[in-house]
Amino acid sequence: MKTSVAILHYSYPPLIGGVEFIIKGQAEILTRNKHRVKIIAGAEKNREKNIQIDIIPEIGSSWPENEAINEELKDGVVSERFQRLREIIDTKIKRSLEKVDICIIHNVMTMHFNLALTSALDKIVNELHRKIRFYLWCHDATLINPDYCVENPHRYPWSLLSKFNEKVTYITISQWRKKQLSELFGVPEDLIKVIPNGIDIKSFLRISEPVWKIACDKRFFDDDLVMFFPSRIVKRKNYELAIKITKELTASGKKCKLLITAPPDPHNSEAKKYYYYLHEFAKEMELEGHILFLNDLKEEYGLKIGYRKLQDIYRICDLLLITSSQEGFGIPLLEAAVMKMPIACSDIAPLSELTRGQALLFKLDDNPSHIAQKIIDYLNAQPTHLMFKRTLSSFSWEVIYRDYLKDLFN
């Protein structure tokens, strides 16, 4: 087991909020990477597998005593009630932080929603920083937000919201926030780290575990282009051209894969021969690792490609590639369209009739290198596709952990 991490905020899901979802994402990715994770929150308890949750009601922004104290603070009164709540919070948080190696504090040190909590944490950080690493994660800041009007920002405890503590590491979520915080704290920008927020792509897209595992193991999210060819294994599908196009894409410097779904037909000896011939053809083209016959992975990953898994594959791929020399209709084009997936297909009558100029068409006798370049140009002209790829490659929680969190927490 790796380090023990506590994540502290006013609240936690199922309470809905942007910061709450980020905390949940952090907690889950740290847990999957064998860290012991504890949530310390003031509101909303959510059962989580392998995540301990300590609820301290007094640290919530809506704790009744806190609301009364906020009214006093607006009038410049730091009352005995404030000091008493501060001490209660101090005692409970210290108890919760026992046996913790690292504590992430989200937003509390720059926001005013519970200033007794902010004050208690300021004291705790100063007392425990030699035993616990503290990361202050700043998503927002009251004193740089025009929606909040603080009349006396230099009066305690409001002054804590602009205090820079050299004993901790400050982290924010964007270069713009970094610039704002450096000005607020009056420190150089290089004293503040930037770690972008992540998104739980598997959950958001509702990807099943087998498909997600394949995507991660085969590093789909690191590829420039993942193409999908869902069809039966019959010669008129002209898979050879799809494989040649993949070869040309890799030769152009693109990291690329072609996914082929169909298993060999056990009742059709010619289809079985063609299936194994395609494997050999891919080897001859030196495309092992680039051409994935999903049927070959079914036992290792427990993959049974039905309608549900087919949808999952569409969601994580970048392009539908159809190189058929004959078709009667072209159902995969409709499936891709519903998924808002770009389409590149052979310019044969049924497919051109379906797409009506809303897909990339190529002639069957076009040079594969020419088709490959057309595909690159076609996708580069689609901002939605480019943003999709950048999100997959840069903002999944798996990538955020690999590129940022791993070094922080080990």
In whole numbers, what is the pLDDT of the chain averaged over residues? 93
Rounded Cα distance, 28 and 152, in Å: 39
Question: pTM of the full predicted structure?
Answer: 0.87
- Residue 1: pLDDT band (50, 70, 90) is low
The topology under which CATH files domain 203-394 is Rossmann fold (3.40.50)
Which of 188, 208, 233 has its CA nearest to residue 307?
208
Question: What's the pLDDT tens digit per position in 340-382?
Answer: 999 999 999 999 999 998 999 999 999 999 999 999 999 999 9
End-to-end CA distance of the chain: 11
For the segment 71-85, the average pLDDT, to the nearest whole number, is 88
pLDDT tens, 240-270?
999 999 999 999 999 999 999 977 776 777 8
Q: How far out from the chain centre does Cα 40 lie? A: 23
Q: Nearest Cα to 293, choosing from 234, 217, 230, 358?
A: 230
Residue 217: pLDDT band (50, 70, 90) is very high
Q: What angle do CA 178, 180, 186 make, to 5 degrees?
A: 95
- What does the pLDDT read at residue 44? 66
pLDDT in tens, 98-133: 999 999 999 999 999 999 999 999 999 999 999 999
**CA 115/CA 121 separation, integer angstroms:** 10
Is the pLDDT reported for residue 272 higher than 90?
Answer: no
pLDDT tier for residue 209 given thresholds of 50, 70 and 90: very high
CA distance 188 to 182: 6
For residues 340-356, b (16+ Cβ closer than 10 Å) or e, as one string?
Answer: ebbbbbbebebbeebbe
Topology (CATH) of 4-199+396-409? Rossmann fold (3.40.50)
Stretch 155-166: mean pLDDT, rounded? 95
Examine residue 350 and say whether the peptide bond preceding it is cis (omega within 30 degrees of 0): no
Q: Cα–Cα distance between 89 and 61 in angstroms, integer?
A: 13
Does residue 164 contact residue 133 with C-beta atoms inside 8 Å?
Answer: no
Dist CA 405 CA 335 (whole Å): 37
- Give residue-wise pLDDT tens across range 309-335: 999 999 999 999 999 999 989 999 999
d(CA 65, CA 82): 9
Per-residue pLDDT at 46: 62
Residue 62 pLDDT: 83
pLDDT at residue 216 in the model: 92
Say what percent of the chain tops pLDDT 90. 80
Dmax (CA) of the chain: 87
Average pLDDT over residues 213-242: 93
- pLDDT of amino acid 61: 85
- Over 90: is that where the pLDDT of 75 sits? no
Handedness of CA 44, 50, 56, 61 (dihedral sign): negative
Domain boundaries, the chain: 4-199+396-409, 203-394
Question: How buried is residue 233: exposed, middle or buried, by Cβ count under 10 Å (0-12/13-18/19+)?
Answer: buried
pLDDT score, position 281: 96
**What are the tens digits of pLDDT across the range 9-57?**
999 887 777 899 999 999 999 999 999 999 999 976 666 778 999 999 9
